[in-house]
A and B are shown apart, each in its own frame.
Chain A
């Protein structure tokens, strides 16, 4: 049971490049979400999903796409990276029942030059 696995752990991109941040969980959790955390700030919700085939926007969705084709995976896509997207990205998952806590991955540290 690996929990929530995020890859890569570190990435440097040039402005305009695209990339996908991977998130996988092996706990059969229905709810998954992506957050970004800028230096000295709290976590801000980007997108979330309540189950396979269902996604919705969070607080700061612009510049990011998501899809949820399986219960296990919830990738985050940056279509055209901008320096403002330099941040630490966290993925989290929660069991489908109500009132269950979130489990977080270790984060992906992304720098856009």
Chain B
């Protein structure tokens, strides 16, 4: 079973920040949090990952709570091209199965 829970869908106005939450209350000390997105029927695309510190790259920011039981992916200025399903995943050891949950379908409203 997936180790994360996400809301099934969210709306965000174009140009605004999109904040996508993820709960991972059973995360263990060596597990990282990863975010991917899937646009239409394409293969999932990696966005960002982190362990306990906040992370930022050219696509997004990842905020992980101090207790590491939840995180938020932030798309700072959402565009219509950000309409996709966003998946939050946790993974620790290199031999772990990588299990996807149902993800959050993000709708960007013009």
Q: Using a CB–CB distance below 8 Å, which chain A residues touch chain B?
A: 4, 31, 33, 35, 41-45, 48, 50, 56, 58-59, 88, 90, 92, 94, 96-99, 101-107
B100 CB contact (under 8 Å) in A44, A94, A106, A107: A44
Number of A-B contacts (CB under 8 A): 61
Contact A101 B49, beta carbon cutoff 8 Å: yes
Contact A101 B99, beta carbon cutoff 8 Å: no
Bound Cα distance from A94 to B44, whole angstroms = 13
Contact B98 A48, beta carbon cutoff 8 Å: yes
Q: List 27 A-B contacts (CB under 8 A).
A: A4-B43, A42-B85, A42-B87, A42-B101, A44-B100, A45-B97, A45-B98, A50-B94, A50-B95, A56-B97, A58-B97, A59-B97, A88-B41, A92-B98, A98-B94, A99-B32, A99-B49, A99-B51, A99-B91, A101-B34, A102-B44, A102-B46, A103-B46, A104-B43, A104-B44, A107-B41, A107-B42
Bound Cα distance from A45 to B44, whole angstroms = 14
Contacting residues, chain B, for A94 (C-beta < 8 A): 98
Bound Cα distance from A96 to B53, whole angstroms = 23
Contact A42 B43, beta carbon cutoff 8 Å: no
**Distance to closest chain A CB from B38 (angstroms):** 8
A contact face: mostly helix, strand, loop, or mixed: strand
B 93-110 contacts with A by CB, 8 A: 93-95, 97-103
Bound Cα distance from A33 to B103, whole angstroms = 19
Q: Is B45 an interface residue (CB 8 A)?
A: yes
Which residue of chain A is the closest to B46 with respect to CB atoms?
Answer: A101
Contact A48 B103, beta carbon cutoff 8 Å: no
Which residue of chain A is the closest to B35 with respect to CB atoms?
Answer: A101
Contacting residues, chain A, for B51 (C-beta < 8 A): 99
Contacts A42-B87, A42-B103, A99-B32 given; does A90 touch B98 at CB 8 Å: no
